[in-house]
DNA sequence: TCTGGGGTCCTAGGACCC
DNA sequence: TCTGGGGTCCTAGGACCC
């Protein structure tokens, strides 16, 4: 078995560039929600020194001095283009596992001349969808990831690296710093370095497996095995239903008012419950949290988390909003400027199982129907048209800032790109 | 004051990913 | 002035049971 990992280059930036070709050679950054910090950077932006996760206000000056272009995040656009990329991958490989919005593993077992195959795939994606990608091949996920990382680093590779054959492992892996190995983050790589493990190759060759497992847990041991070509992380994990669903946002302007906080929470419950129903689940636990701005230490700080277990599982948005608002009442303290709030739904069951069980009192069938109607309506006419009055009707100070948002070119008729 | 052994389940917290 | 959001997995430790 051999795997490929396809990874879109600076995906969000590439999506924005697709509709503004003049930006192809300019530094581009896409910002997180609320225009908070950098989450995607073009090569040119990286060269200017913009760091991943760096707050916008720290590099804003580059817009003036170096013609840096910034965008607010536009997830309808990114999700749609991601879907197009995945469709093309499905056409090229017998099976794929979509790993994230911009990455997928491919089963490439039996394909010879992988580098040629990879090059063709890259060109095809560029031509058909317009998104540049890098590709790595290997016998395990960790090795395919490593190959992909090497492909990004080396110009010579032209975006494709093949580590399926053991004979190339030493050359490749010894050029890969340990912190670039998939699954080894900051904390673990520091510990690795104390053991003298500086590269992926060092970890592969480290003899004391027991010690690796002791310090880095089962996962650390599995990563070492995968570097040696022993498969631990299976391909095509079926996409399982989520075990919890969260929805939270940082506010555009902080709020002190309990009513405003409740409105925001009602919004988050609404979209979390929609996701809950979409995966066919019901939930029996709700958590609400809110916090002040930790970056403003001169202000009084306060965070609350309140969790409630429900008497019966539910998928009813209105029921969940009621509970969530009670939780706000419990946790809320006056005199703080709340900057972020959120909701977590957890303790899930299958909604179908539940309906068959007449002994478990749960939502009424009428409520299920109502939710279906709302979901269908939103699917057809757009999200957020029907909502509980608890979400509020007036202007919302807490709404996200998004000053640099591009149009939804591919998912909204009114925002189609027009070329003159 | 002294106080077994083994098992399960749950939760909190840490680490990681994109 | 301005600092994202949404997940998963693992482990340790406590509660509880017999």
Go through chain A and tell me how many residues it has: 420
Cα(A325)–Cα(A355) distance, integer angstroms: 27
Q: At residue A23, does pLDDT exceed 70?
A: yes
- Which pLDDT does position A72 carry in this prediction? 94
Q: Which residue is nearest to nucleotide C9 (CA to C1')?
A: A219
C7 C1' to A419 CA distance, Å? 39
Name the nearest CA neighbour of A246 among A286, A284, A293, A278. A286
C16 C1' to A131 CA distance, Å? 56
Task: Tell me which nucleotides of strand C come within 7 A of a protein CB.
Answer: 1-11
- Which pLDDT does position A167 carry in this prediction? 96
Are A39 and A12 in contact by the 8 Å Cβ rule? The answer is yes
Residue A379's pLDDT band, with cuts at 50, 70 and 90, is confident
Other CB atoms within 10 A of residue A150 CB: 24
Cα(A269)–Cα(A247) distance, integer angstroms: 7
Cβ-proximal residues to A303 (8 Å cutoff; 6+ apart), any chain: A289, A290, A291, A292
- Which pLDDT does position A265 carry in this prediction? 92
Residue with tokens 């279906």: A372
Cα(A32)–Cα(A38) distance, integer angstroms: 6
B3 C1' to A391 CA distance, Å? 58
- Which pLDDT does position A303 carry in this prediction? 86
Task: Tell me which nucleotides of strand B come within 7 A of a protein CB.
Answer: 14-18
C12 C1' to A168 CA distance, Å? 40
Are A253 and A397 in contact by the 8 Å Cβ rule? The answer is yes
Q: What pLDDT digit, counting tens, does each position of A242-299 carry?
A: 888 989 988 988 899 999 999 999 999 999 999 999 888 888 889 999 988 888 888 8
Cα(A243)–Cα(A42) distance, integer angstroms: 34
The pTM for the full model equals 0.89
C14 C1' to A382 CA distance, Å? 48
Cα(A159)–Cα(A294) distance, integer angstroms: 41
Q: At residue A356, does pLDDT exceed 70?
A: no
Q: Is the CB of A184 under 7 A from strand B?
A: yes
Cα(A82)–Cα(A101) distance, integer angstroms: 6
B5 C1' to A245 CA distance, Å? 40
Residue A67's pLDDT band, with cuts at 50, 70 and 90, is very high
Residue with tokens 């069938």: A365
- Which pLDDT does position A305 carry in this prediction? 87
Q: Could you give the angle at which helices A258-278 and A317-331 cross, rounded to 10 degrees?
A: 140
- Which pLDDT does position A130 carry in this prediction? 95
**Mean model confidence pLDDT for chain A:** 90
Across all strands, nucleotide nearest A272 (CA–C1') = C6
Other CB atoms within 10 A of residue A351 CB: 20
Q: What pLDDT digit, counting tens, does each position of A207-221 carry?
A: 999 899 989 989 999
Q: At residue A361, does pLDDT exceed 80?
A: no
Name the nearest CA neighbour of A6 among A113, A174, A124, A110. A124
B10 C1' to A323 CA distance, Å? 23
Q: At residue A362, does pLDDT exceed 80?
A: no
B5 C1' to A213 CA distance, Å? 27
- Which pLDDT does position A355 carry in this prediction? 52
Residue A292's DSSP bridge partners are A338
Q: Is the CB of A226 under 7 A from strand B?
A: no
- Which pLDDT does position A395 carry in this prediction? 67
B8 C1' to A270 CA distance, Å? 36
Are A341 and A264 in contact by the 8 Å Cβ rule? The answer is yes
Q: At residue A360, does pLDDT exceed 60?
A: no
Cα(A224)–Cα(A199) distance, integer angstroms: 12
SS (H, E, C) chain A: CCEEEEEECCHHHHHHHHCCHHHHHCCEEEECHHHCEEEEECHHHHHCCCCCCCEHHHHCHHHHHHCCEEECCCHHHHHHHHHHHHHHHHHHCCCEEEEECCEEEEECCCCCCHHHHHHHHHHHHHHHCCCCEEEEEECCHHHHHHHHHHHHHCCCCCCEEECCCHHHHHHHHCCCEHHHCCCCCHHHHHHHHHCCCCEHHHHHHCCCHHHHHHHHHHHHHHHHHHHCCCCCCCCCCCCCCCCEEEEEEEEEEEECCHHHHHHHHHHHHHHHHHHHHHCCEEEEEEEEEEEECCCCCCCCCCEEEEEEEEEEEECCHHHHHHHHHHHHHHHCCCCCCEEEEEEEEEEEEEHHHHHHCCCCCCCCHHHHHHHHHHHHHHHHHCCCCCCCHHHCCCCCCCCCCCCCCCCCCCCCHHHCCCCC
Q: Is the CB of A102 under 7 A from strand B?
A: yes
Q: What percent of chain A has pLDDT over 90?
A: 61
Q: Residue A269's Cα: distance from chain center in Å?
A: 19
Q: What pLDDT digit, counting tens, does each position of A24-36 carry?
A: 999 999 999 889 9
B16 C1' to A219 CA distance, Å? 10
Q: At residue A13, does pLDDT exceed 80?
A: yes
Q: Is the CB of A101 under 7 A from strand B?
A: yes
Report residues 127-146 of A contacting strand B, contact meaning Cβ closer than 7 Å.
145
Q: Strand C footprint at Cβ < 7 Å?
A: A 32-34, 36-37, 39, 53, 55-57, 217-219, 240, 242-250, 254, 275, 293, 295-296, 339-340, 342, 400
Residue A350's DSSP bridge partners are A281
Cβ-proximal residues to A281 (8 Å cutoff; 6+ apart), any chain: A241, A242, A315, A348, A349, A350, A351
């Amino acid at each position: 078995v051999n795997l490929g990992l396809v990874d879109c280059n600076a995906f969000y930036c590439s999506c924005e560039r697709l509709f503004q070709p003049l930006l192809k050679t300019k530094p581009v950054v896409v910002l997180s929600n609320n225009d908070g910090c950098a989450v995607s950077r073009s090569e040119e932006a990286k060269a200017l020194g913009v760091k991943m996760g760096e707050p916008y206000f720290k590099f804003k000056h580059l817009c003036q001095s170096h013609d840096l272009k910034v965008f607010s995040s536009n997830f309808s656009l990114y999700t749609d283009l991601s879907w197009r990329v995945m469709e093309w991958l499905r056409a090229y490989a017998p099976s794929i596992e979509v790993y994230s919005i911009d990455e997928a593993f491919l089963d490439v077992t039996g394909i010879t001349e992988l580098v040629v195959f990879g090059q063709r795939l890259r060109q095809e994606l560029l031509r058909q969808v317009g998104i540049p990608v890098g590709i790595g091949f290997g016998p395990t996920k960790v090795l395919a990831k490593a190959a992909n990382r090497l492909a990004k680093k080396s110009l010579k590779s032209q975006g494709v690296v093949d580590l399926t054959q053991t004979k190339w492992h030493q050359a490749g892996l010894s050029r890969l710093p340990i912190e670039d190995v998939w699954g080894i983050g900051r904390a673990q790589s520091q510990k690795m370095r104390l053991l003298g493990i500086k590269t992926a190759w060092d970890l592969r060759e480290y003899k004391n497996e027991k010690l690796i497992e002791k310090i880095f847990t089962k996962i650390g041991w599995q990563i070492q095995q995968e570097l040696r070509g022993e498969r631990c992380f299976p391909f095509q994990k079926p996409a399982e239903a989520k075990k919890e669903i969260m929805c939270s946002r940082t506010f555009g302007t902080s709020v002190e008012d309990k009513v405003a906080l409740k409105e925001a929470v009602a919004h988050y419950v609404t979209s979390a419950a929609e996701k809950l129903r979409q995966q066919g689940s019901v939930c029996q636990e709700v958590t609400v949290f809110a916090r002040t701005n930790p970056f403003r230490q001169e202000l009084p700080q306060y965070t609350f988390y309140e969790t409630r277990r429900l008497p019966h599982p539910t998928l009813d948005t209105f029921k969940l909003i009621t509970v969530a608002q009670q939780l706000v009442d419990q946790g809320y303290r006056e005199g703080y400027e709340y900057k972020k709030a959120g909701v977590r739904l957890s303790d899930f069951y299958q909604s179908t199982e539940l309906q068959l069980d007449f002994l478990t009192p749960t939502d009424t069938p009428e409520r299920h129907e109502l939710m279906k109607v709302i979901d269908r309506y939103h699917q057809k006419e757009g999200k957020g048209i029907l909502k509980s009055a608890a979400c509020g009707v007036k202007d919302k100070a807490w709404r996200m800032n998004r000053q640099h948002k591009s149009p939804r070119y591919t998912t909204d008729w009114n925002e189609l790109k027009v070329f003159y």
